[in-house]
Structure 1
Amino acid sequence: MFPYRLLLRHLSRHPAAPSPSPSFLLPHRTFAFSSAEEAAAERRRRKRRLRIEPPLHALRRDPSAPPPPRDPNAPRLPDSTSALVGPRLSLHNRVQSLIRAFDLDAASVVARHSTFSRTRPTVFTCNAIIASMYRAKRYEDAIALFQFFFNQSNIVPNVVSYNNLINTHCDMGNVDKGLEVYRHIVENAPFSPSSVTYRHLTKGLVDTGRIDDALELLKEMLGKGHGADSLVFNNLIKGFLELGNLQKAEELFDELKGRCLVYDGVVNATFMEWYFKQGRDMEALESYSSLLNRKFRMVPATSNVLLEVLLKYGQMKEAWDMFERMLDDHTPPTFQAVNSDTFNLMVNNCFKEGKIEEALTTFRKVGTKSTCRPFVMDVAGYNNMIVRYCEHGMLVEGYSIFQELMSKSLSPDVTSYRALIEGYLKAERFEDAVIMFHKMVDANLWVVASFGNKVFEELIKNQMTADCARILTNMSKKDHKPDPSCYEVVLKGLCNEKALDEASGLIELMVKHGIGFTPSLRETLTTSFGEAGRREEIDRQLNALQWGYVPRYPPQGASLRT
């Protein structure tokens, strides 16, 4: 007991210090976050990012070892999708909006000028404008843009870039140049050619009568370990069928079925079309039945090709049966069996046969097969109905579809408005055309110079120049400013009608936005205002700009190869 007494005596002479606040037991936290929950969320985010993108030292066996020196001769890699953010994404969207408005020259100028700015385009932006040039059959411009972006501007191309170039060369008949690009990929690129590369090359070789070279390329593709691509085989099968060599085509088809448990039904469509052309309808339908017996779940890209062949050769019962079958198979989100192109094929066939009511009934079949498997029609499907109605002069019905499109929380695009505007002009309903044009401008859509000038010229012929001036004024307030040529067309119309006050307002807009005057426009304005005794006024306005006319965008069809 004695030690305990000593301890008590010691504690009485030396009392313990007051205990600190219990907060010392809490973990130390900085004030970088407003709450502990926010800090925990940040830690989870960092851990998740490290799992997705581990640091380079984590990939080395010895984390303490210094990183290896970078090889200056190592090939640079193309942009990944993570580069398409911020200002570069905004640039990409702007170029895409110009492409969708069919203003390829302006899209090219915007993309090319951005290479000299801080916001350089990604490879995806470059590919988009090159592919749009190819689709417009402006092959020289597509090749020139590839040269500018990837050889002059030091942007690293990816396999899609090379595929666009190969496809362009092949469509121009320069298959050997396409093969040179292919060899360059094999020898120098940090990636391998894709199946799309072989599709373009084999199609180009077959189209130029070099089917033996295409066959060798197919063997090379298989020898390099690539999978048996159905569309590559299809190119060769189609080539042999066109040569009348049915036996070789069937041998290739058997080889494809031996290599793939599931193949693309486009191959059957190729056989069907060849049989139909030969007048062997029974064998064509047998090929079609053999495909159905395999019970493949076909994606719309395949099913639409089969539908197109059946409709083209008058097999209406089989086509409608297949359409109904596709609607039954459509079980989103598990499987998508139809798209807007599917409906467009059937609707267009109805319009072609003059069955207008049946076309609308077909369009309304969206989502009627089952309440749990609806297909949500997109803008392209609505646009097709609007265009077809306008082609047949049924503008009331076309506008009704347009209103339905807007009621579905979808945004009409350039095609939607252009179809109705052109339909109204054709029907001489000019006031309706003006109203629709104002709606198009209010939607902040890009008005291509060729389309805008065409509408303005038609309205000016019908004494509606003042309405054109109001449209231009409205356009100048939007993000997408009118092309300088639009001002010239409208100003000349106003001068011819002696509407100089409206012309003066447009001139002020041109000066405000830094748009110069062509010599032709300057002469017209000087003459018209001079005859009205307002020469001093026009001289003051014209001299407000100290530089000459510099077009904001190149004229339509201008060469981009300089």
Structure 2
Amino acid sequence: EPPLNAIRPPPHQHQSRDPNAPRLPDSTSALVGPRLNLHNRVQSLIRAGDLDAASAVARHSVFSSTRPTVFTCNAIIAAMYRAKRYNEAIALFHFFFNQSNLVPNIVSYNNVINTHCDEGRLDVALEIYRQIIADAPFSPSPVTYRHLTKGLISVGRIDEAVDLLREMLNKGHGADSLVYNNMISGFLELGNLDKANELFDELKERCLVYDGVVNSTYMEWFFKQGRDKEAMESYKSLMDRQFRMTPATCNVLLEVLLKHGKEKEAWELFDQMLDNHTPPNFQAVNSDTFNVMVNECFKLGKIDEALATF
């Protein structure tokens, strides 16, 4: 028979956890058994639009033997944000992660930062960002910087947004197209095309492949200025790169083209998206893609074409 210590290691072999080490948030492996059942129940209530019941179930579970995972907490907080119930989103964050001693992850922080940004409380959002850097066992994510730069620009603090972009890069994060897009959009709205172009050139130097949403931002601005030729030159420069673009990016391009009377180019892009759609390997269209094109057909009174597209 094997010796007892082969079956049950002696107690001194177990290393005790450092009490001063930061507590880590749940990993997805925590989402099993009763905790998974709880998560699915909360998600079902969210999908049914009953946010009050979803919130109550999640809050009450904190006091039960089946405590919610961080994913369940994030789900109800994000649902409150989407419903523009900002005060409740912030209160739930405080309840779960400050009062109830659950450990937030970066998505938790991003949810509450986004909420404060939409409410115009940029200084509070920036304080939470600094708290992540000081105390959290993880770094801010590109989404953190997207929310903060967009929020700062919306209240006329674009210089601080530039500082945050530089901070993102200095901390070793990759150049995020959507953070750059926020900056470029902000400078275009101020009429500073040179600074926008400087940032776009910087993005292209840092990324072999970038998000085509940046081109849609330029297109929209040029169209508003009555500079259709330059808008379409920006579109052509993107298409010449032959990036494999996600539906989210292409849908924005479709909307800009259709909004400004470029139906021929929009339908050509739609056909190209259908050609590139080779699931499960690559998804080039989604339900929003068809909604955009079908709505355009109805708007033009082309009922048969709408039905054929659908």
TM over 0.5: yes
Does residue 151 (structure 1) correspond to residue 112 (structure 2)? The answer is: no
Does residue 255 (structure 1) correspond to residue 202 (structure 2)? The answer is: yes
Aligned to 1:511: none
Pick the aligned partner of 1:190 from 137, 143, 149.
137
Aligned to 2:114: 167
Q: Deviations over 1:164-204 (max 9, x none)?
A: 00000000000111100100000000001100000000000
Aligned to 2:47: 100
- Secondary structure in structure 1 of the residue aligned to 2:292: helix
Aligned to 1:355: 302
Query: What is the rounded CA distance, in whole Å, between the counterparts of 1:87 and 1:353 in structure 2?
Result: 52
1:17-416 alignment runs, 5 A limit: 66-363=13-310
Gaps of 5+ in 2: 2-8
Aligned to 1:521: none
- Secondary structure in structure 1 of the residue aligned to 2:13: coil
Q: Deviations over 1:285-324 (max 9, x none)?
A: 1100000000111111111111111122221111111000
Aligned to 1:539: none
Query: What is the rounded CA distance, in whole Å, between the counterparts of 1:155 and 1:308 in structure 2?
Result: 42
Letter in 2 for 1:232: V
Query: What is the rounded CA distance, in whole Å, between the counterparts of 1:148 and 1:354 in structure 2?
Result: 52
How far is the alpha carbon of 1:67 from its aligned partner? 4.3
Q: Deviations over 1:320-355 (max 9, x none)?
A: 110000001112222111111111111122222232
- Secondary structure in structure 2 of the residue aligned to 1:173: coil
Q: CA RMSD in A?
A: 1.5
Query: What is the rounded CA distance, in whole Å, between the counterparts of 2:61 and 2:303 in structure 1?
Result: 48
Gaps of 5+ in 1: 1-27, 29-56, 58-64, 364-562
Query: What is the rounded CA distance, in whole Å, between the counterparts of 1:205 and 1:128 in structure 2?
Result: 26
Query: What is the rounded CA distance, in whole Å, between the counterparts of 1:349 and 1:93 in structure 2?
Result: 37
Letter in 1 for 2:213: V
How far is the alpha carbon of 1:86 from its aligned partner? 1.2
Aligned to 1:428: none
Query: What is the rounded CA distance, in whole Å, between the counterparts of 2:94 and 2:179 in structure 1?
Result: 28
- Scaled by the length of structure 2, what TM-score is found? 0.95
- Secondary structure in structure 1 of the residue aligned to 2:26: coil
Query: What is the rounded CA distance, in whole Å, between the counterparts of 2:73 and 2:305 in structure 1?
Result: 43
- Secondary structure in structure 2 of the residue aligned to 1:237: helix
How far is the alpha carbon of 1:147 from its aligned partner? 0.4
Query: What is the rounded CA distance, in whole Å, between the counterparts of 2:25 and 2:295 in structure 1?
Result: 42
Whichever of the two has the greater Rg, that structure is 1
Letter in 1 for 2:26: D
Q: How many residues align?
A: 302
Query: What is the rounded CA distance, in whole Å, between the counterparts of 1:237 and 1:295 in structure 2?
Result: 22
Q: Deviations over 1:122-175 (max 9, x none)?
A: 110110110011111111110001001111111110000000000000000001
Query: What is the rounded CA distance, in whole Å, between the counterparts of 1:271 and 1:231 in structure 2?
Result: 13
Q: Deviations over 1:47-97 (max 9, x none)?
A: xxxxxxxxxx9xxxxxxx834432111111111111111111111111111
Structure 1 moving runs of 4+ over 3 Å: 65-69
How far is the alpha carbon of 1:356 from its aligned partner? 2.2
- Secondary structure in structure 2 of the residue aligned to 1:231: helix
